[in-house]
Amino acid sequence: MPEIAYYQDRFVEIDEPVIPIQERGHQFGDGIYEVIRVYEGRPFTMAEHMERLEKSAAAIRMELPYSPEEIERLSLEALNRSGITEAEIYLQVTRGIYKRQHQFPVPGASALSIVVKNARVVPEEKRESGVPVITTDDVRWKLCHIKSLNLLPNVMAKQEALEAGAHEALFVDDGIVKEGSSSNVFLVKDGTVKTYPATNSILHGITRRIAIDCARENDIPLKEEAFSLDELLEADEAFITSTTMEILSISSIDGRNLPDERPVTEKLFQAFQHKKK
């Protein structure tokens, strides 16, 4: 099925050049984004993603070019045009086209981009075995709850993981594990799940929230509190969450293996699968 895109006010071919050189997303990373997973033609947690998009826009003092309802309508039209049933909808809003200056454009003219593409799926063998991760110093800015386009530290961390033969890199700040380069992270110890609290230090992941809901609905004890790298290394289980990875077990951290048995992670994964239906 064809991947499809939308920019500013029209649908375009996925490879059509449309971004002007003075686009602020291109020049400054001055924008925000969301990724929505589509299962069997149905967008999953669309309302939650629209809510976070609004919050990110407000946090950087940018007015959305359309209402959330209109952005959702355009996203669904793009999905329908693509014909892809297992898809990802990528939404991006920037502060638009303007001469290169750091201050906001006057008047403002934010721009919406949408891309619908085939969904990335974790191979079943990785799902069963779990994935290795590494740790890296957290050098990001202090407003990680904003889903902004400024992702260079994340890019560098992900590349570091790739070169180490790992699936993900976890950010560690003064001994405290925050989150992954494109995921949230959880540990399990003595049957209790623990994850970093939803402060400005991490992205408030949609799948993170669902995993927390699944734990509470299944009477699995859960704490939203900081934990150290030492605690993570001594965990009975650990997993990462994201829109594209869902709930994915961690097999090793910096080369140190975790136990093969993962009953809590598996229970949460199955509960997540149920919510998709």
CB 139 within 8 A of CB 104: no
In the numeric block, which tokens belong to residue 247? Answer: 């709930």
The residue annotated as part of the active site, out of 99, 142, 147, 194, is: 147
Catalytic status, residue 147? yes
Please, what's the b/e burial string for 174-195 (b: 16 or more CB within 10 A of its CB; e: otherwise)?
Answer: eebbbbbbbbbbbbbbeeebbb
Q: How many angstroms separate the Cα of 107 from the Cα of each of 24, 62, 97, 98?
A: 14, 12, 11, 10
CB 56 within 8 A of CB 32: yes
Bridge partners of residue 36, in order along the sequence: 89
Q: Kindly state the DSSP code that residue 151 receives in the 8-state scheme.
A: -
- Considering only CA atoms, which of 269, 272, 268 is closest in space to residue 215? 268
In the numeric block, which tokens belong to residue 211? Answer: 């995993």
CB 131 within 8 A of CB 168: yes
Scanning the structure block, which residue is given the tokens 């509190």? Answer: 225
Bridge partners of residue 168, in order along the sequence: 133
Active site residues: 147
